[in-house]
């Protein structure tokens, strides 16, 4: 992971990770938060994905009805 070091006027050095992959970003968040994983978010995303798959399986595709064309009325003005 590449890091960028920024030293501020008061002497504080800030270390910023740049160009992280998704896996590196997840590992960094895990280290900062002090937790092994985020079970509630992982569970929600899994449930939502499964729910969408089930809905697609249950609802068959309905054939599309051809659009109805309304009659066109032409109004001519004498003048």
pLDDT tens digits, 8-38: 999 999 988 888 888 888 888 878 777 666 6
Per DSSP, the three-state class of 5 is: strand
Alpha helices in 1-79 (DSSP H): 22-33, 39-58
Q: In degrees to the nearest 10, what's the CA dihedral of 57, 59, 61, 63?
A: 160
> Whole-structure pTM over 0.85, yes or no?
no
Phi, psi of 17 (to 5 degrees): -85, 135
What tokens appear for 68 in the block? 């109805």
Q: Residues for the chain: how many in total?
A: 79
Tokens of 20: 């992280």
């Amino acid at each position: 992971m590449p890091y960028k070091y920024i030293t501020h006027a008061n002497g504080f050095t800030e270390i910023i990770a740049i160009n992280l992959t998704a896996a590196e970003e997840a590992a960094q968040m895990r280290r900062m938060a002090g937790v092994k994983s985020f079970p509630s978010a992982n569970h929600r995303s899994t449930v939502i994905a499964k729910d969408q798959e089930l809905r697609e399986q249950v609802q068959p595709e309905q054939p599309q009805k051809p659009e109805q064309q309304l009659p066109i009325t032409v109004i001519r003005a004498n003048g």
